[in-house]
Structure formats: structure tokens, C-alpha cells
């Protein structure tokens, strides 16, 4: 079925306005003015739509049966997302899977739902969308409750498979890593993985303790992903401007495990969080992973310390 493009555009425009208003955006164009989205090939029938800085990367699986999206960026970017998809495929956008609940991955849900895209997500993601969202950066600020029309229509407690474009696409719950509703999307025939924000190439892992994320789950989830990947598998990170390979996941996991073990040793010596921070357990890695201003070692290490039983997340408050 082919939709009338002008009707879809009109619906999207109207929905953008409604969602932006509901989200309390004072200036919906401002933050995103001039942001250009580009679609780059991943492998097989999958592309990645990314933006400068590489946040909220979208998977685009396209073929004769239509288009399935993985994540939806921010609401004000919805029309630009559709335009980027159109550089890859003229097919109907039928399905959307949300990898997790953060606003840069579900923001376009409302406009897409208004255009009759059917939204899928894990049960836990939908539950978290029933309230305002606490997000991890900058010490955990709140963002407004997403609009009812942005919620997933179909939820699953474990796995859902899509039989589309001659392939079987599998979306499944990862261990609680970035959040407790993280979905990995595996395209075995195209040989692509979309890992949401469990895997990022731009910073230390964001373990969102406000939304059920854990260090242990992050390690386990990355081990699962590495186990699924072959030598030619292409991996879409939640954040990062390039599609990467298995080696990049191994590098990320090795870094996390090394930091974990260093912090564990310091806790074993009875060190306080202040003393652990002073010992700089991430010193080897800060140049590579600690350069994102809103998520540095000062954000990551206290979470590791707390989960390993060191004590409070907060410095000077044992
Ligand atoms: Zn996220």
C-alpha cells in the first residue's frame, strides 16, 4: 500500500506540533535548527540514520514489504527522519521498535504513530512511559511524561520476531544494562545488530540507575551481543557516527571490565568513593571515553562503586 505523500506530510506536521507542545518545548526548532540527518549503509537491507554527534541512531530495515525502524529520535526531527528514510526507500513505514525509553529514542513516536506506524517495545519501556521520565545525564533531571499517542501499541516480555522483506528480524530483551527495558534488534540475514544505548562509541557506558540499568547487566548484554556477532557483522551503536564491527564491542566491554575490576580492588582495600575517584581508575581510558561533557568518569565511576557494594553513589556521603 502506498500512502498519499501529502497526507502523510500533513499528518506528521500536525503531530509534530501537538507533541512538541505536549513536551513543553518552548522553541521546538531552536535546539534542532539546522540539524541534518543522513542515512548510511550498515549491511544488507539495513541502513543507519544518524545526526552530527551521532545521538539516537535509527536503524532502517527496508525492502519490498516496507520499512521497519529501530528508534525514532526526537519529535522535532520526525520530518527529517522521514526524509532520510526516503533517501533509502519509498516503501511504507510500517513498524517501529523502541530500544529504550530515553527521549532521543522515543521522541518521534507520536508523529510516526499519527502516520499509522505500529510501535513495538518491551513491557518495561511502556510502563516507564506512563510517568514523567528521569534521565541520567547532569545528575538526573526529569523530562515530561510522553504523550499517550507516543506509547507502544504492542509490547513483549521477551522476544518478538518480524517476518519481513525475506528476513526474520528478532527483537529481544537484553539483561538490564542501560535501562531495564533494553531491546537488542538482530538482523541475522543482513548481519546487523542494533544495540540501542547499551553500546555507544562516544563515551563511557551510561548506566541509567533511575530506569533500572545495571553494570552487571551491561557486561552480560555486551557478552550476548559479541556472541551473536560474526567477523562481518555490522553494529549500530545508540550513539556514535559510524557503524562499527565486533572488535569495537570487544574494546568497549574490555574497558568496562577493566574499570570494574580496578574499582573492585579499591573497594577491597576499604577506599571511600572520594578515595576511589582520587585513584583515577579510568586514567587509561579518559582520553578515549571520557570526553563527552555530560557523561565522564565522574558520572560512570560512582555507579560502578555503588553497584559493587562500595556504598553511596554520592561523594562525601558514605
Ligand atoms: Zn539512552
Of the two residues 16 and 160, the one the predictor is more confident about is: 160
Q: How many CB atoms lie within 10 A of CB 287?
A: 8
Distance from the alpha carbon of residue 79 to the mean position of ligand 1, in angstroms: 21
Q: What's the CA-to-centroid distance between 49 and ligand 1, angstroms?
A: 16
Q: Which CATH architecture has domain 5-247?
A: 4-Layer Sandwich (3.60)
CA of 197 to the centre of ligand 1 (A): 5
| Per-residue pLDDT tens digits for 203-218 | 999 999 999 999 999 9
Q: How confident is the model at residue 27 (pLDDT cuts 50, 70, 90)?
A: very low
Q: In angstroms, how far is the first alpha carbon of the chain from the final one?
A: 61
Please tell me the distance from the alpha carbon of residue 130 to that of residue 126, in angstroms, as a whole number.
7
Q: Give 223-245 pLDDT, tens digit per residue.
A: 999 999 999 999 999 999 999 99
Residue 239 CA to ligand 1 centre (angstroms): 9
Categorize the per-residue pLDDT at 250 as very low, low, confident or very high, splitting at 50, 70 and 90.
very high
Q: What is the pLDDT of residue 230?
A: 98
Residue 147: pLDDT band (50, 70, 90) is: very high
Q: How far is the CA of 306 from the centre of ligand 1 (A)?
A: 20
pTM score over 0.85:
yes
Q: Give the distance (Å) from ligand 1 centre to CA of residue 317.
A: 27
Q: What is the pLDDT of residues 95-133, one digit of tens each?
A: 999 999 999 999 999 999 999 999 999 999 999 999 999
Gap from CA of 54 to ligand 1 centroid (Å): 12
* Whether the predicted pLDDT of 26 surpasses 60: no
Residue 3 CA to ligand 1 centre (angstroms): 32
Separation of alpha carbons 176 and 167, rounded Å: 27
Q: Ligand 1 mean position to 135 CA, how many Å?
A: 8
Domain boundaries, the chain: 5-247
Strands (E), 44-158: 46-50, 58-63, 66-70, 93-97, 118-122, 133-134, 142-143, 154-156
Report the separation in Å between the CA atom of 200 and the middle of ligand 1, taken as the mean of its atom positions: 10
Residue count (the chain): 318
Largest Cα span, the chain: 67
Cα(272) to centroid(ligand 1), Å: 29
d(CA 170, CA 245): 19
pLDDT, position 29: 54
- What is the pLDDT at residue 14? 42
Amino acid at each position: 500500500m502506498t500512502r498519499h505523500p501529502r497526507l502523510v506530510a500533513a499528518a506528521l506536521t500536525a503531530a509534530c506540533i501537538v507533541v512538541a507542545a505536549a513536551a513543553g518545548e518552548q522553541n521546538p526548532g531552536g535546539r534542532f535548527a539546522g540539524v541534518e540527518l543522513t542515512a548510511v549503509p550498515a549491511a544488507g537491507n539495513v541502513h543507519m540514520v544518524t545526526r552530527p554527534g551521532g545521538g539516537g541512531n535509527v536503524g532502517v530495515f527496508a525492502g519490498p514489504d516496507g520499512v521497519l525502524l529501530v528508534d525514532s529520535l526526537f519529535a522535532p526531527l520526525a520530518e527529517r527522519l522521514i526524509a532520510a528514510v526516503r533517501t533509502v526507500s519509498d516503501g511504507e513505514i510500517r513498524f517501529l521498535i523502541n530500544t529504550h525509553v530515553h527521549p532521543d529514542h522515543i521522541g518521534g513516536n507520536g508523529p510516526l504513530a499519527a502516520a499509522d506506524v505500529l510501535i513495538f517495545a518491551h513491557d518495561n519501556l511502556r510502563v516507564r512511559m506512563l510517568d514523567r521520565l528521569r534521565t541520567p545525564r547532569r545528575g538526573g533531571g526529569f523530562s515530561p511524561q510522553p504523550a499517550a499517542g507516543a506509547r507502544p501499541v504492542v509490547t513483549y516480555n521477551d522476544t518478538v520476531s518480524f517476518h519481513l522483506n525475506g528476513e526474520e528480524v528478532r527483537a529481544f530483551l537484553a539483561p538490564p544494562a542501560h535501562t531495564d527495558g533494553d531491546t537488542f534488534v538482530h538482523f541475522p540475514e543482513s548481519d546487523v545488530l542494533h544495540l540501542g544505548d547499551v553500546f555507544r562509541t562516544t563515551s563511557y557506558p551510561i548506566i541509567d540507575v533511575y530506569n533500572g540499568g545495571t553494570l552487571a547487566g551491561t557486561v552480560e548484554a555486551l557478552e550476548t551481543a559479541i556472541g551473536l556477532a560474526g567477523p562481518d557483522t555490522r553494529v549500530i551503536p545508540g550513539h556514535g557516527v559510524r557503524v562499527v564491527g565486533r572488535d569495537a564491542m570487544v574494546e568497549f566491554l574490555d574497558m568496562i571490565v577493566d574499570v570494574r575490576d580496578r574499582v573492585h580492588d579499591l573497594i577491597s582495600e576499604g577506599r571511600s568513593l572520594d578515595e576511589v575517584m582520587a585513584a583515577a581508575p579510568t586514567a587509561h581510558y579518559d582520553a578515549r571515553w571520557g570526553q563527552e561533557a555530560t557523561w565522564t568518569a565522574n558520572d560512570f565511576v560512582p555507579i560502578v562503586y555503588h553497584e559493587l557494594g562500595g556504598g553511596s553513589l554520592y561523594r562525601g556521603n558514605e
